[in-house]
Amino acid sequence: MDLSVVSLLALLAVVVAGSFLPVNVGVLAIAAAFLIGVPLAGLKASAVASGFPAGLFLTLVGVTLLFSQARVNGTLDRISALAVSHARGRTGVIPIIFFFLALMFASIGPGNIASTALLAPVAMAAAGRAGIPAFLMAIMVCCGANAGALSPFAPTGIIANGLMSKIGIEGAQWSNYLSLLLSQSFVGLAGYFLLGGTRLLRDRTGTVDVEKNDPSGQPLNWQQKFTVAVIAALIVAVLVLKVDITIGAFVGAAVLSLARAADEKRALKDMPWGVTLMVCGVTVLIGVAEKTGGMELLTSMLSSFSTQQSITAVIALVTGVISVYSSSSGVVLPAFLPTIPGLIEKLGGGDALAIASSINVGSHLVDVSPLSTLGALCISNAAPGVDRKKLFNQMLAWGLSMCAVGALVCYVFFGLLM
């Protein structure tokens, strides 16, 4: 069998296995890369290993360590409690607050997965106490977190920008962020009103005890104030002084550790190492697939049923369907963003940024799916008494419907209007 077919089938098998088996996709991808690259393709082990994205790995570690410290010392918890306290018993405002909290947390650095992990337990419990439908709250939290996913400070944004930079798409950081922010905000707010938000806004009788020991009335301690100052300094340094985010994140994490503002051991333990391994591992396999012609074969397949006019819709639909069952940042973006130059060549032209935006938006709009990390976090933290099977089915139906919505949105905004 041709090596291009073998490598592409291996990539497909890794994605499918990682979606349905309790194993990290990154581990499978690295193993497959060496098995195909060395004995079949005749590559040296060092050539296969050269596909490991060391720069991306360091950036992800630095950023996630800093915000893991902010999480373990209670800074992010305290900020969320302070924000929710401003609802003042207005039930309909609570889901909106959680939407913007998730957006803010995801945008400033923790990313969509960490932000959902932080907020889902509080949000779903608040929904149960206030009589807010669990489905509505889950959509607001997931859409809010995804709205900030492509921030230049967030792990997924770093991944997307790095992959796009490798194929020659430079300076698109804020364009990526805004396109996903606007699409997720529209979907989230539409879901809010479709699922009863108007009725909730009219209800001014509800009160919510967000946490058993609500810290909203307590001042930040010195560790938390110091952490907020360090994060603010990082944002200013990156935006104004143009400091590399990898350098800034590691310096900020080191400062917090030296000041004993957070438990470093616990922060390291709580970091999302599985996601980091997933992204880097798939990138190694993509490198082997590129060397053996697998990625060229994938672009040929996609271009065979696309045109310059329809490619944005097709790529959004395909990546959306795959992302329902797998990781957007760990699988879909590393697999599809590198295909853009080949697609444009085979189609005889096209807008690289429009296609990349369609991949980014299409793959993330479906992430309310209960088979994604975000959706699963909301279901697992649903309040007692919630029918989890019904919630699962509702979120799966919503996620699948977003495949079509994403394709339509991308066709109109990145195809017809660009």
Biggest CA-to-CA distance, the chain: 70
Count the alpha carbons within 13 Å of 63 in the hemisphere toward its beta carbon: 29
Q: What is the pTM of this model?
A: 0.73
Q: How confident is the model at residue 206 (pLDDT cuts 50, 70, 90)?
A: low
Q: Which of 4-8, 134-138, 272-276, 304-308 has the lowest mean pLDDT?
A: 272-276
Using CB atoms within 10 A of its CB, is residue 300 exposed (0-12), middle (13-18) or buried (19+)? middle
Question: Among 75, 155, 244, 398, which residue's Cα sits nearest to residue 146?
Answer: 155
Q: For the residues 70-93, what does the mean pLDDT come to?
A: 76
Task: Check residue 89 and give its pLDDT.
Answer: 63
Cα(289)–Cα(36) distance, rounded to whole angstroms? 9
Please state the rounded mean pLDDT for residues 134-151: 94
* pLDDT tens digits, 37-69: 999 999 999 999 998 988 878 877 888 788 889
At residue 129, does pLDDT exceed 80?
Answer: no
Alpha-carbon gap, residue 414 to 418, rounded angstroms: 5
By the 8 A CB rule, do 379 and 391 touch?
yes
Banded pLDDT at 217 (limits 50, 70, 90): low
Q: How confident is the model at residue 210 (pLDDT cuts 50, 70, 90)?
A: very low
Reported confidence tier of residue 192, pLDDT bands at 50, 70, 90? very high
d(CA 252, CA 343): 40
Taking 70 as the threshold, does the pLDDT of residue 34 lie above it? yes
Calpha distance 41→25 (Å, rounded):
22
Task: For residue range 290-341, list pLDDT tens digits in order.
Answer: 889 887 787 788 778 788 888 999 999 988 888 876 678 877 898 899 989 9
Q: What is the DSSP letter of 91?
A: T
Residue 213, C-beta contacts closer than 8 angstroms, at least 6 positions apart: none
The angle at the Cα of 366, spanning 123 to 391, to the nearest 5 degrees, equals 50
Token pair of 316, please?
A: 């959004």
Mean pLDDT score of the chain: 85
Which tokens hold the place of 413? 């905004």
**Given this model, what pLDDT does residue 308 score?**
85
Within 89-194, residue ranges assigned H as helices are: 93-108, 111-130, 134-147, 155-166, 173-194
Identify which of 104, 131, 144 has the alpha carbon closest to the alpha carbon of residue 196: 131
Q: Mean pLDDT across the stretch 210-219?
A: 54
**Residue 416's CB: how many other CB atoms inside 10 A?**
10
Higher pLDDT, 336 or 418: 336
Crossing angle of helices 134-147 and 388-410, rounded to 10°: 40
* Residue 283 predicted with pLDDT over 50: yes
User: pLDDT tier at 407 (50, 70, 90 boundaries)?
Assistant: very high
CA nearest neighbour of 100 among 183, 208, 189: 189
Say if residue 214's pLDDT is above 70.
no
With cut-offs at 50, 70 and 90, classify the pLDDT of residue 2: confident
Q: Where are the alpha helices (DSSP H) in 240-339?
A: 245-258, 264-270, 273-292, 294-304, 311-325, 333-336
Q: Taking each helix axis from N to C terminus, what angle separates 111-130 and 54-72, rounded to the nearest 10 degrees?
A: 30
| Residue 354 to residue 337: CA distance in whole angstroms | 11
Of the pLDDT bands very low, low, confident and very high (cuts 50, 70, 90), residue 22 is confident
Residue 232 buriedness (CB in 10 A; 0-12 / 13-18 / 19+): exposed
% of the chain with per-residue pLDDT over 70? 93
pLDDT at 11: 84
